[in-house]
């Protein structure tokens, strides 16, 4: 991040000066930014799209020296701990953000913040996109492999899905670099800044998925075995078989099949097909390799079976996906 941007965040604004003297929260939200009808239902202030009049992304410093009361919003928000630390209560759960951490809040996620000191800089990045949500990010992460799907299913309770994600960044990486570039671009307001900021936001979301470390609960011996098998499927999906895995791990094939179904929730065959289709779709949308060659490449011998399963999982056909990918590529180059 540029020294100019950092100086901007460190400088006290009028609200901060008032809060530093009073030690009490000074309202910085105009009435036109509050949806009164939704606020009545949510029992807390609900911020609307007031901040996006002429831009797709709105960035501001979180005011220091006083706690911030519980509120929610109709857009997505990232809280980036640029330096220092803070305590945030999100949907009733207490979180502590430290330097480099990023908290992603979904639409409707209630949260409040503790008091920040002079050296604590928290940056709010707010954006609208009806196609982006916590569920979408989970789906994108899961689509990397069946291995990650298994980990996430053990971590996230679908019946009580979290409306937030926290990305811990202790040592710095590409996510932090992109965040700093995005914030610099916004604060310095150069020509074409909005277009560049939107591009950085897309890159940032993809990088978050790539760098999101999934922590699992303690695993049993059978679960550790299944994790090994899922890794095997991810690495050798073209040619792997249950028979070969039974020999590799010295288990009866039928026993291993039943154990796999119990732990994963689907059969070995279903899981292997899903992994193959993940790779097939990547090749369909990012290359011009003929579909027939892709089917052979991923290890499926029955073309009718491939098309049927592709439609079941993605609710589209390979041809439709490739056409859409071509259109997106043309639009991006205009």
CATH number for 327: 1.10.10.60
Q: At what angle do helices 146-155 and 268-286 cross, to 10 degrees?
A: 120
Same domain, 164 and 229: no
Which tens digits make up the pLDDT trace of 4-62? 999 999 999 999 999 999 989 998 888 887 877 777 777 787 877 777 776 778 899 99
Query: Of 192, 211, 230, which residue constitutes the final position of a domain?
Result: 211
Q: Could you tell me if residue 65 is inside a domain?
A: yes
In the prediction, which pLDDT does 186 show?
92
Give pLDDT, residue 158.
42
Sequence-distant (≥ 6) Cβ neighbours of residue 297 within 8 angstroms: 238, 283, 289
pLDDT in tens, 225-236: 988 898 899 889
Beta-carbon contacts of residue 34 (< 8 Å; ≥ 6 apart): 45, 46, 47, 48
pLDDT bin (cut points 50, 70, 90) of residue 298 is very high
The domain of 77 spans 3-211
At which of 211, 229, 244 does a domain end?
A: 211
On whether both 234 and 199 belong to a single domain, the answer is no
CA distances in angstroms from 272 to 146, 179, 262, listed in the order given: 8, 37, 16
Q: How far apart are CA 317 and CA 297, in angstroms?
A: 18
186-218 burial: b if 16+ Cβ within 10 Å, else e: bbeeeeebeeebbebbeebbebbbeebeeeeee
Instruction: Indicate whether 165 and 226 sit together in one domain.
Output: no
The better pLDDT of the pair 258, 45 is held by 258
The pLDDT of residue 178? 92
d(CA 146, CA 268): 11
144 domain-assigned = yes
> Which pLDDT tens digit goes with each residue over 77-126?
899 999 999 999 998 899 999 999 999 888 888 999 999 999 999 999 98
Percentage of the residues of the chain whose pLDDT score is greater than 70: 84
CATH code: domain of residue 91: 2.60.120.280
Angstrom distance (rounded) from CA 314 to CA 281: 9
- The answer as to whether 216 is a domain residue is no
Specify the number of domains making up the chain: 2
Q: What is the DSSP letter of 108?
A: T
């Amino acid at each position: 991040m540029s020294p100019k941007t950092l100086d901007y965040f460190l400088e006290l604004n009028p609200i901060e000066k008032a809060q530093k003297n009073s030690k009490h929260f000074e309202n910085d939200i105009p009435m036109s930014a509050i949806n009164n009808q939704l606020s009545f239902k949510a029992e807390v202030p609900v911020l609307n799209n007031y901040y996006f009049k002429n831009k797709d992304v709105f960035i501001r410093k979180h005011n220091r020296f006083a706690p911030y009361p519980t509120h929610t919003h109709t857009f997505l928000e990232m809280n980036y701990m640029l330096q220092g630390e803070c305590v945030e209560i999100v949907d009733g759960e207490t979180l502590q953000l430290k330097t480099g951490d990023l908290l992603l809040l979904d639409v409707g996620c209630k949260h409040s913040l503790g008091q920040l000191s002079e050296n604590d800089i928290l940056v709010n990045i707010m954006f609208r996109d009806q196609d982006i949500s916590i569920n979408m990010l989970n789906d994108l992460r899961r689509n990397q492999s069946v291995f990650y799907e298994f980990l996430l299913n053990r971590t996230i309770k679908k019946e009580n899905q979290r409306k937030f994600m926290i990305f811990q960044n202790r040592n710095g990486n590409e996510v932090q670099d992109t965040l700093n570039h995005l914030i610099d671009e916004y604060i310095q307001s150069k020509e074409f800044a909005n277009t560049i900021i939107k591009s950085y936001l897309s890159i940032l979301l993809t990088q978050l998925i790539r760098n999101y470390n999934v922590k699992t609960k303690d695993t049993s011996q059978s679960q550790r075995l299944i994790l090994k098998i899922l890794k095997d499927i991810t690495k050798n999906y073209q040619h792997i078989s249950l028979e070969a895995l039974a020999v590799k791990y010295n288990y009866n094939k039928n026993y291993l099949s039943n154990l796999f179904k119990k732990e994963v929730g689907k059969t070995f065959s279903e899981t292997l097909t899903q992994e193959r289709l993940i790779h097939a779709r990547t090749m369909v949308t990012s290359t011009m390799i003929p579909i027939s060659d892709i089917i052979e490449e991923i290890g499926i011998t029955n073309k009718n079976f491939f098309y049927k399963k592709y439609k079941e999982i993605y609710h589209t056909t390979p041809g439709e996906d490739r056409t859409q990918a071509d259109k997106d590529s043309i639009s991006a180059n205009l």
